[in-house]
Amino acid sequence: MKKSTLLFLLSLGVLSNAFAQESLDLEKAISIGLEKNLQIKIAVDNVTIQEGNKKIGVGDLFMPTVDATYLRSFAQEDVTQRFVNDPEPRQIDNAKTRNENFNIVGLYGFRPESVVTMKRLGQLTEISELEAKIAVENTVAGISTAYYRLILELQRYQVLKETLRLSKARLNIAQAQYELGGAGKRDFLTAQVDYNADSSLLLTQEQVIQNARVNLNELMAVNPGEDFAINDTIIIDRRLTFAELEENAFMENKLLLINQRLKNVAFLQTRELQASRLPILNLNGTYVNNTSNSDAGFLVQNQRQGFNYGGNITVNLFSGFTLNRRIQNAKVQQRIQDYSLEQYEIQLQSDIQRAFNTYENNLRLLTIEEKNFQVAKENSEIALERFRLGIASYLEFRDAQVNLLTAENRLITSIYQIKEQEIELLRLSGKIFFQNSMEDFSLNP
């Protein structure tokens, strides 16, 4: 108990037989969850979409557009023509016209705000990646908490099973004393009632274990009825320090990093609007190959082939003050995002402080619960022996039995609560990733 970690071991061998199946440890549970959890899959796909949007933005902002058009048209008409030097009309029936047109048009426009836009799209991509990492962190934290919760319920099952064993021993003693005439029937019946109540608690705990198992399966995205054996215990890390947790949080907390990037996005949006006041450069080039044949008119055939090119510079002189209003709104949004970042920093510090206070207090309570459990255990053993010898009453023995049950439940619950706060502190500080299982995790689908 004086080492840096506390091992609270309760035999789970009987339960392993009752739930005979494949063994599952925490690392394996996390691995399954990271592979199958649907929230992670959604988050990863969102990253893919955002990366695609960034690539689309590069094409729209910096690459020219080139369009090719091929046109072929035919006409057959009755044509009546009258010329200045020939007053007699000229009639042409079924005059045919054929046109063939092919052109390639290239356009390129450089907008000064495009450079800022690309930076903003880069920030949005980073935000989507951080959101995916949050989904991973939440999955790891959720699976870890559910896994340790299942261990807690299995340990409670063992406590109740030991309580039932003592109740059975007491029932056997009461029955023997009653049959030998050493005790009244009332003591025997009371022992029977207590034994039945303890049996009911044990059955109820089996249902609690089943539900805890379903909750873990849900987080791992496997069949709710999937069965596995848990042969594990809860290990407490006493090396957590507030200063280190807070320092890590301000470097690694993903929500904080998202708020920082949202602040950058708001700043870049303002710069983007301001840059839109600068001149826009447009360049264009066209290749034309056009052939026209006609049975009527002066031109029997007309063919054009060659290049056209040029450019222009455009400057917006007035837009009804719309741009000014948009810039003002962007500055307000930038100020709001500054406040949001400051607010989250305060919230993060408070969350870490609250969780660490609970963590430290539970560690102090654990020392008390350990001592109390040892006392209750010794008292129960003495009470059982006194009851066996007929010195103690059934009420005295039952009180000792209930005290032991309460003390043991409080002890294992205290250990679980410490582990729960430990997981939360690691999540807040951005260190929830398990080194062995998370270093190779990639957001690429």
Counts for the chain of helices (H) and strands (E), in that order: 10, 6
Instruction: Report d(CA 382, CA 26) in Å as an integer.
Output: 39
Bridge pairing between strands 228-229 and 22-23: parallel
Coil, strand, or helix at residue 180?
helix
Is 245 within 8 Å of 428 (Cβ atoms)?
yes
Instruction: Report d(CA 101, CA 71) in Å as an integer.
Output: 5
Instruction: Assign 184 a pLDDT band (cuts: 50, 70, 90).
Output: low
| Residue 17 or residue 362, greater confidence | 362
**What pLDDT score does 292 carry?**
79
Phi, psi of 225 (to 5 degrees): -85, 5
Q: Does domain 13-70+113-289+320-438 have CATH number 3.40.50.1170?
A: no
For the segment 162-175, what is each residue's pLDDT rounded down to a tens digit? 888 888 887 887 78
317-322: average pLDDT: 80
For the segment 249-289, what is each residue's pLDDT rounded down to a tens digit? 999 999 999 999 999 999 999 998 888 888 888 888 888 88
**What tokens does 309 get?**
């090119």
**What tokens does 88 get?**
């007699």
Q: 165, 209, 236, 234: which is closest to 422 by C-alpha? A: 236
Is 286 within 8 Å of 103 (Cβ atoms)?
yes
**What pLDDT score does 356 carry?**
94
- 159: exposed, middle or buried (Cβ count in 10 Å: 0-12, 13-18, 19+): buried
**What pLDDT score does 227 carry?**
83
- Using left for φ > 0, alpha for ψ between -120 and 50, and beta otherwise, residue 306 falls in left
Instruction: Assign 240 a pLDDT band (cuts: 50, 70, 90).
Output: confident
**What pLDDT score does 116 carry?**
84
Instruction: Assign 21 a pLDDT band (cuts: 50, 70, 90).
Output: low
**What pLDDT score does 111 carry?**
79
Q: 44, 47, 43, 53: which is closest to 118 by C-alpha? A: 53
Coil, strand, or helix at residue 278?
coil
Q: How many other C-beta atoms are found inside a 10 Å radius of the C-beta of residue 274?
A: 16
For the segment 201-220, what is each residue's pLDDT rounded down to a tens digit? 999 999 999 999 999 999 98
pLDDT higher than 80, residue 156 = yes
Instruction: Assign 77 a pLDDT band (cuts: 50, 70, 90).
Output: confident
Instruction: Report d(CA 46, CA 125) in Å as an integer.
Output: 9
Strand partners, 304: 290
For the segment 360-416, what is each residue's pLDDT rounded down to a tens digit? 999 999 999 999 989 988 888 888 788 777 777 777 777 888 888 889 889 999 999
User: What is the pTM (predicted TM-score) of this model?
Assistant: 0.76
Instruction: Assign 336 a pLDDT band (cuts: 50, 70, 90).
Output: very high
- DSSP for 49-72 reads HHHHHHHHHHHHHHS-EEEEEEEE
SS3 of 320-386? CCHHHHHHHHHHHHHHHHHHHHHHHHHHHHHHHHHHHHHHHHHHHHHHHHHHHHHHHHHHHHHHHHH
